[in-house]
């Protein structure tokens, strides 16, 4: 229900308008003059004031001028006996919506009141919409200014990071921003490059304008990163990590490029040092392992070279089976010293021609456990002691020293076991001549899945039969 304040010194008119409007469910308050009306306005809100012009005391126009300032959401319609166009002009200028001439014509009053209320509502909605819009623009502007200030701070402060912004919107690409970090890294002064073509920096073309994007949205977040040896202004080079971020406009077109680069010379130096020390460590490790291998082979010339050849074959089988490089390397190291336990067996037994007695054979069988005991306290990065311990274990538990089953034996030990048998049969031994590679392959295929792991045997057969693998020719059977 709209509340209407009726101000008129003429009581019959006041009452008449009040009654007329109440029949249309408007809530009416009646005031005999401006000062009474001011009191009502202090107590409650009105949507509309119907106000006489000529009243004793404050005139209607002065009163409405006051209400337009103090209560801008309250609309006003003037009611007067004077049909004077200049008064109407004055009234409209101060923001009055309409002008009703006495004597009162009821329909005219009702239409005028309804129009004034509708217009007031439209103006209020319009103002609210405009204020809301202005507030949103203010918020966005503030957020943009803040983020720009943050970016600017990063841009200026990061000396170890270089930021270069390229603008692609003009007819020729040009450098838009060049941070202090970029000055240090590339050796150019900002003054020399801002506004210039990016070609002055001698950077690769695809850093300046990224290649066609497969998935622009994802690329937008990730950027393109790559390492690059940068040539500075005076020719010195610098290892750097470059990331290029394409900048898109609302239509998905690239309008700019932000190139962020970091000096990685310290990291590269550390990587080189680490690489060198790894290499030295690896050579020292290999040297020690070969020294151990030599110690056993010097006492047993018949098996000299056996360990190296077994290591080579085991490594080739592992490669054929697709094992990881590091695992293959560990297996080779294990192969090179797999018989180190024989150091504890009397040389006359190792070199004895003819058949061994059961006791002698039992003694030989201790070599895998002895080898394990020698190696178990050395911290290799691979399970070398376990590989050596298990290299005579067999799938059907018939091996030694423990009699492990197939799934209990390390894959490396299974590979080494097959390589050991093949090499040993193919080579000469003090107690028998060489049996030949064919006999060796026949042995492992016959016992495929029984004594020897099926996949290992398959890989071994493939090596010899299809890939023409040969045991080192010096030791060939």
Kindly list the residues in this chain that would bind Fe ion in the complex (CB under 5 A): 339
Take residue 111 and report the two structure tokens written for it: 């239409």
Q: How far is CA 338 from CA 298, 306, 309, in A?
A: 15, 10, 11
Nearer to Fe ion, 181 or 417 (CB): 417
Q: Name the minimum Å distance from CB 368 to Fe ion.
A: 6
Cβ 297 to Fe ion, closest distance in Å? 13
* Nearest distance, CB of residue 418 and Fe ion, angstroms: 12
C-beta of 65 vs 391, nearer to Fe ion:
391
Contacts 24+ apart (CB under 8 A), 181-187: 182/261, 184/159, 185/230, 185/232, 185/238, 185/240, 185/261, 185/263, 186/162, 186/230, 186/232, 186/233, 187/232, 187/233, 187/234, 187/236
- What is the DSSP secondary-structure string of 392-437? T--TBS--SSS--BGGGS-HHHHHHHHHHHHHHHHS-BTTB----H
- 229-242 b/e (C-beta count within 10 Å ≥ 16 → b): ebeeeeeeebbbeb
Cα–Cα dist 64/78, whole Å: 9
Residue (263 or 339) nearer to Fe ion, CB: 339
d(CA 308, CA 289): 11
Tell the smallest beta-carbon distance from residue 204 to Fe ion (Å).
57
Q: Write down the least CB distance from residue 275 to Fe ion, Å.
A: 35
Q: How far apart are the C-alpha atoms of 375 and 448, rounded to whole Å?
A: 30
Query: Which CB, 47 or 339, lies closer to Fe ion?
Result: 339
Query: CB of 459: closest distance to Fe ion in angstroms?
Result: 20
| SS3 state at 52 | strand
- Residue with Cβ nearer Fe ion (208 or 410): 410
Nearer to Fe ion, 5 or 296 (CB): 296
Rounded CA-CA distance 333/314 in Å is: 10
Q: Which is nearer to Fe ion, 312 or 339 (CB)?
A: 339
Nearest-CB residue for Fe ion: 339
Residue 339: CB minimum distance to Fe ion, A: 5
């Amino acid at each position: 229900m709209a509340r209407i304040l009726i101000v008129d010194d003429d009581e019959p008119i006041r009452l008449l308008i009040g009654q007329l409007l109440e029949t249309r469910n408007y809530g009416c308050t009646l005031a005999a003059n401006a000062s009474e009306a001011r009191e009502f306005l202090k107590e409650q809100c009105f949507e509309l004031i119907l106000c006489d012009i000529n009243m004793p005391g404050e005139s209607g126009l002065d009163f409405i001028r006051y209400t337009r300032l103090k209560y801008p959401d309250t609309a006003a319609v003037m009611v007067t006996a004077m049909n004077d166009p200049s008064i109407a002009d004055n009234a409209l200028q101060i923001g009055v919506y309409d002008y009703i001439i006495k004597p009162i014509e009821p329909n005219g009053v009702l239409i005028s009141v309804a129009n004034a209320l509708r217009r007031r509502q439209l103006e209020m909605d319009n103002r609210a919409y405009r204020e809301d819009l202005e507030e949103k623009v203010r918020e966005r502007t503030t957020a943009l200014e803040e983020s720009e200030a943050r970016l600017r701070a990063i841009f200026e402060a990061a000396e170890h990071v270089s930021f270069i912004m390229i603008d692609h919107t003009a007819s020729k690409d040009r450098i838009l921003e060049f941070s202090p970090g970029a000055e240090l890294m590339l050796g150019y002064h900002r003054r020399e490059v801002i506004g210039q073509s990016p070609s002055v920096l001698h950077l690769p073309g695809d850093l300046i304008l990224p290649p066609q994007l497969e998935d622009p949205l994802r690329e937008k977040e990730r950027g393109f990163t790559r390492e690059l040896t940068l040539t500075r202004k005076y020719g010195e080079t610098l290892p750097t990590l470059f990331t290029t971020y394409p900048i898109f406009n609302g239509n998905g077109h690239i309008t700019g490029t932000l190139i962020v680069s970091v000096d990685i010379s310290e990291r590269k130096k550390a990587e080189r040092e680490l690489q060198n020390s790894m290499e030295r460590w690896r050579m020292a490790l290999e040297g020690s392992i070969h020294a151990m291998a030599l110690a056993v082979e010097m006492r047993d010339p018949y098996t000299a070279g056996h360990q190296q050849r077994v290591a080579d074959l085991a490594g080739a089988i592992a490669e054929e089976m697709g094992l990881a490089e590091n695992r293959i390397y560990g297996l080779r190291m294990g192969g090179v010293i797999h018989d180190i336990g024989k150091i504890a067996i009397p040389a006359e037994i190792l070199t004895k021609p003819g058949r061994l007695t059961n006791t002698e054979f039992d003694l030989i069988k201790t070599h895998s456990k002895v080898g394990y005991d020698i190696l178990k306290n050395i911290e290799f990065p691979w399970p070398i002691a376990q590989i050596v311990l298990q290299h005579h274990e067999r799938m059907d538990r018939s091996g030694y020293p423990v009699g492990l089953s197939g799934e209990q034996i390390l894959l490396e030990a299974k590979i080494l076991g097959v390589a050991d048998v093949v090499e040993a049969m193919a080579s000469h031994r003090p107690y028998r001549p060489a049996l030949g590679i064919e006999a060796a392959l026949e042995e492992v295929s016959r016992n495929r899945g029984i004594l020897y792991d099926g996949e290992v045997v398959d890989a071994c057969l493939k090596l010899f039969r299809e890939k023409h693998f040969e045991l080192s020719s010096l030791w060939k059977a």
